[in-house]
Structures are given as structure tokens and as C-alpha cells.
Amino acid sequence: MRDAALHEPGQALHVEDLTVSYGTDPALWDIDLDIPPGVMCAIVGPNGAGKSTLIKAALGLVRPVAGHVRFLGHEIGAMRGRIGYVPQRHSVDWDFPTTTRDVVEMGLYRSIGWFRRPGRAARDRALAALAEVGMQDYADRQISQLSGGQQQRVFLARALVQDAPILILDEPMAGVDATTEAVIIDLLKRLRDAGRTVIVVHHDLTTVQSHFDWLVILNIRIIAQGPVRDVYTPENLRAAYGRQLAMIAEPAGALP
């Protein structure tokens, strides 16, 4: 049942009344969320706040008990292939016998279609995507030989190769080196400037203001959402992180 009329087509991501539950405790409770197109948005919140669950539910990887999700007005089923997804690096076995380029080509499998093999065009696009993340010299390297930061860049290239208008990244800066973080942020900012929407599950409050222009603060419920300068306030952070905050960041000093 495709929706004939678009619902909230003005929002890159529109979430309404979304509730997800593992067992009896809700992982996400009554989420209403709008992320406009062309922003670079961080989703932050303490451990167990449901950040990853939120994007998994949005992508249809987790079944919500209530609510609905739209991307640019479409249901997720109609947007497959137009959303670049970068899962957490640790979600796969990096000892899998394959090369860096092969992993990036996986981002094209959907557009290649059933019963066909990736050809020269796919190869060239994969190499171009690897060049964008500075990994062109590693194209034929075994993925088991990559460092954590390199793995993350390969995953990003696999999403880039789809040329999707919306990019969703799950903790891309977790445990990567400074070079990789700089490469990723520069690239994401260029994509944002080119009109893409970039949504990042982020864990480092100290870099929110320098890296992002839109912010969602989450702790099971939505604590706050909007432009970073309006939302990144001590009150909001305290509401989300409570006593943990002192250990994570010094918001008062960091704020204007």
C-alpha cells in the first residue's frame, strides 16, 4: 500500500509518535522529530538513550510498536537506495575475505539488480568514492589489514557511492584517529554544502558546536531539537545527561 499523497515532504526526516520497545521497557517513547533538508544534524544522548534504535527504526531495521516515519515525504520502502547508511563499524566481521573496493561496491548491489555482477562502471564508482575518503591507495587491500579509522572510511565510501540525498551515520567518530575524524567531518560538511542531509549519531559533546548545525538531544524521549545555537544549552544537556554531564563535558565553560 503506497501512500499516494506525500506526508510532510518538506522534511528530510519526519518522525511522529514513534515508540519502540524491547520487552516491557520502552527504548524510545513517543518521538516527534523533524530534520529539515540540507542540515548536518547530530543526535546525542547518554548511553541507552536509544540513539541507534532511533535510526534503526527510521530505516525499518527495528519494528516500532507505534508511530510512523517519512523521508522527504516518502515511506522508507520507497526511499531504499536513496539513503546512504553507515552502520557501526563493529557490527561486521572485518576478517571477512574480501578487499576494500569490494566492500564499497556493495553499496551499488541494489542498483545493479538481481542476477548481475558489478562491472567496470561499478569498479570506477567505487574507486572514486574511495578517493573521496582518501583511501584510493587501499582499494585492493584486504579489509582485515585496515585500521579502525580506515575501516570507518571504507564504510563511509560504501554509503557515498550510492550518491544518496540523505546520509545516516551511526557513531562514525567512535574510536577513530584524528586524521579520520577530520577527513570524515570535512567530507560530511562538503556534502551538506552540496545540499545533502547528513544525520549523525554522535557521542562527543565537545565537538557538537564545531561540527554540526542541527542538534537532536535524546534520552528515550526527545529532550530538545533544532539549530545547535538554540538547543545546545546547559539546561537541555542537564535534562538529558543528568549527573553524568560533569564527567562528559563542561557545558557552562564551553557555552557563550
Residues making contact with another protein (CB under 8 A)? 59-61, 77, 80-81, 83, 85, 87, 91-93, 96-99, 102-103, 106, 109-110, 112, 114-115, 117-118, 142, 158
DSSP of the chain: ---SS-SSTT-SEEEEEEEEEETTEEEEEEEEEEE-TT-EEEEE-STTSSHHHHHHHHTTSS--SEEEEEETTB-HHHHTTSEEEE--GGGS-TTSS-BHHHHHHGGGHHHH-TT----HHHHHHHHHHHHHTT-GGGTTSBGGG--HHHHHHHHHHHHHTTT-SEEEEESTTTT--HHHHHHHHHHHHHHHHTT-EEEEE---GGGHHHH-SEEEEEESEEEEEEEHHHH--HHHHHHHHGGGHHHH--HHHH--
Residue 80 or 123: the one with the smaller Cβ distance to another protein is: 80
Least separation, in Å, of the C-beta of 126 and another protein?
13
Q: Which is nearer to another protein, 104 or 223 (CB)?
A: 104
Is 155 or 232 the residue whose CB approaches another protein more closely? 155
Distance CA 22, CA 47 (A): 16
Q: How far is the CB of 112 from another protein (least distance, A)?
A: 7
Q: What distance in Å separates the CA atoms of residue 100 and residue 246, rounded to the nearest whole number?
A: 40
* 150/225 with CB nearer another protein: 150
103 vs 201, beta carbon nearer another protein: 103
Q: Shortest Cβ distance from residue 28 to another protein (Å)?
A: 18
Residue 210 Cβ vs another protein, minimum distance, rounded to whole Å: 29
CB of 31 to another protein, least distance (A): 19
> Which C-beta is closer to another protein: that of 81 or that of 148?
81
Q: How far is the CB of 226 from another protein (least distance, A)?
A: 27
